[in-house]
Structure 1
């Protein structure tokens, strides 16, 4: 479970690129108030080691923030920052233990993804609530968006999504990007995998609404089958990955159960009652299904789940050769980095401010099928990778 760094050389186009594993874990552990608190949590079931899996990632001021979604019971903290103690990489609940209390609807209940504004230090946390781990009859917290100022150490705003936007027992808020206008937050775009919709949050009006389109639904047939560790893993997951173009003109998205990448103008999404049916564009097929993706200044990076790799779409190049922006298709796709053993299920992405792309790897199918070995003598299950790509994100 010790953090370590290795150096690999891979080819990105004609450029040599350094890639490294920054952190790796057999199992996740936390910075507990005391050993006795940890032992009590294990005893009462509020910490079940095998139910903790790393997912989302973002970087701010050289700190690495990650999520551990409460897809199963026994996850003590959903949002965390990685710290190292005695050579071990462990998770410190962020911003505090009290903000992670299960059953306290003012705290964070179920967070898979978040975003951090590099210019302000605002962390935008999407909280689905408790639907998956809730016992029958247990009170369910509504889904919400929590905006937390890392520097000022205070909550800026909490937006509770109306039932019509994020229905309990159905919604699954998956990923988020934030659209700024004139340097100030204007909209947040959130994929809701549970309802197969796109949620839009208007920051200036403190109001949320949704869009639905057939492109957001899971496909059937071969698109549901992912080659994973010599097995066929079936996923019927709807809209999942999301990315904002560098100029904020377009939102990219895709279902996990699809090879296709779609685009919609953000100008259409700004219209609460707008009709997006004629605005959605199918850009073409990716080389693989993907969950997480992220746009840099020149490329769209995504995890190629069928290939144990990270790929990029060079949209700058394809725009240069297209007749117009509207005619751009998903043509120039390049392998960025690949590892058959250590990149099984590339999940979430983040940029730092110096051109590095970070991403998590977590072997999700093994976790969901309860075949993951969490013993120290077994293989490592979760990783944080870092690779220099010479791009930055939309902030």
Structure 2
């Protein structure tokens, strides 16, 4: 059964004493229209409980939105909002069940991540178009970007990525940030882990294009091995997490298989014919390999996968110490929160408007290795944490 608790835990430093597990699950369930439909879905394989794992998270007003990537069969809904039912936290397909229908190219097929503009309430959903990674050839629909207005309850725009931008059988749209100019959307930057490229979507022109650079590829050697939960987890994953500086001047990114953090000016990304290799800057090494990251108003936060923790880079402090913002490097890194039992693979981040950092924990290596216990008496497998950091979103 599902469980939802709020648990105050002790963390290092009084600054981050306000830290809590907002939700925890052994297994995920959904807000089904009826129990008979749920049972029928279990019987026909369209709902396989052990194949549902939370990943992306965003907060809007008082609601928590989550993605469940369709990396395996039996995921009935890939974009959801957390709701309470009979005292339990379950996932309600968002914006509807119809928008999650497998094989319907007007619906959302595979969402790893998304972004929500806290001002407009626009949700930017990246849809890889893949039904299930586990079965090659299951690209049923082209990759697309769906912009949905949460308040107006309507689709604002759908941009279908050309084959040259997001090739079928290769693309894996992983993370997204939104660049606004004068308060209006201008660009979306998207990491494509499948092609080791950065996708740029020009909102004003309704056009997309890509950039590639050696910094976006997975490194070889020690960077491919994560010392995770007393085992060696090997990954050759390229560009994964991305973040946008609060002044929107720089895009930060890193492959999962590296310790390095890179930066490129967004002014360069505005020119689809630019040679970005001349503008990419290696800022230095993080304390760990990481997947997701997010920039607040003063710091960049990331998950330290080899130490079951969240760290932050205080770029405001380092910029103040540097000769100029162009000369800043990755120096001031501090641990924000750590939990060896309940922070096994910090995945995705979000920020609310009250100064809180939210993030998902999902123990991906155990999930991919099919060793996760989803029974009602087993351990909790997935967590959502909320930490008071006194910062707001880059947006």
Q: What TM-score comes out, normalization by structure 2 length? A: 0.98
Q: Please give the alpha-carbon distance, in whole angstroms, between the structure 2 residues aligned to 1:131 and 1:173.
A: 13
Q: Is the 8 A contact 2:41 2:47 kept in 1?
A: yes
Q: Deviations over 1:94-135 (max 9, x none)?
A: 000000000000000000100000000000000001164485
Q: Please give the alpha-carbon distance, in whole angstroms, between the structure 1 residues aligned to 2:29 and 2:209.
A: 37
Q: How many residues align?
A: 394
2:86 alignment counterpart = 86
2:148 alignment counterpart = 148
Q: Is the 8 A contact 1:103 1:139 kept in 2?
A: no
Q: Is the 8 A contact 1:146 1:158 kept in 2?
A: yes
Does residue 299 (structure 1) correspond to residue 303 (structure 2)? The answer is: no
2:384 alignment counterpart = 384
Q: Which runs of 5+ in 2 are unaligned?
A: none
- 1:311-322 mapped onto 2 (5 Å cutoff): 311-322=311-322
- 1:1-395 mapped onto 2 (5 Å cutoff): 1-12=2-13, 15-130=15-130, 132-133=132-133, 140-395=140-395
What is the CA RMSD across the aligned residues, in angstroms? 1.1
Pair 222,89 (structure 1): closer, same or farther in 2 beyond 3 Å? same
Pair 139,26 (structure 1): closer, same or farther in 2 beyond 3 Å? closer
Q: Describe the SS at the equivalent of 1:272.
A: coil
Question: Shift of the alpha carbon at 1:17?
Answer: 2.5
Q: Deviations over 1:184-211 (max 9, x none)?
A: 0000000000000000000000000000
Q: Is the 8 A contact 2:146 2:155 kept in 1?
A: yes
Q: Which deviates more, 14-23 or 175-184?
A: 14-23
Q: Is the 8 A contact 2:16 2:389 kept in 1?
A: no
Q: Please give the alpha-carbon distance, in whole angstroms, between the structure 2 residues aligned to 1:134 and 1:161.
A: 23
Question: Shift of the alpha carbon at 1:382?
Answer: 0.2
Pair 138,132 (structure 1): closer, same or farther in 2 beyond 3 Å? closer
Q: Is the 8 A contact 1:318 1:332 kept in 2?
A: yes
Q: Describe the SS at the equivalent of 1:375.
A: coil
Q: Is the 8 A contact 1:112 1:174 kept in 2?
A: yes
Q: Please give the alpha-carbon distance, in whole angstroms, between the structure 2 residues aligned to 1:286 and 1:163.
A: 34
Q: Which runs of 5+ in 1 are unaligned?
A: none
Q: Describe the SS at the equivalent of 2:40.
A: helix
Q: Describe the SS at the equivalent of 1:204.
A: coil
Q: What TM-score comes out, normalization by structure 1 length? A: 0.98
Question: Shift of the alpha carbon at 1:15?
Answer: 2.4
Question: Shift of the alpha carbon at 1:86?
Answer: 1.4
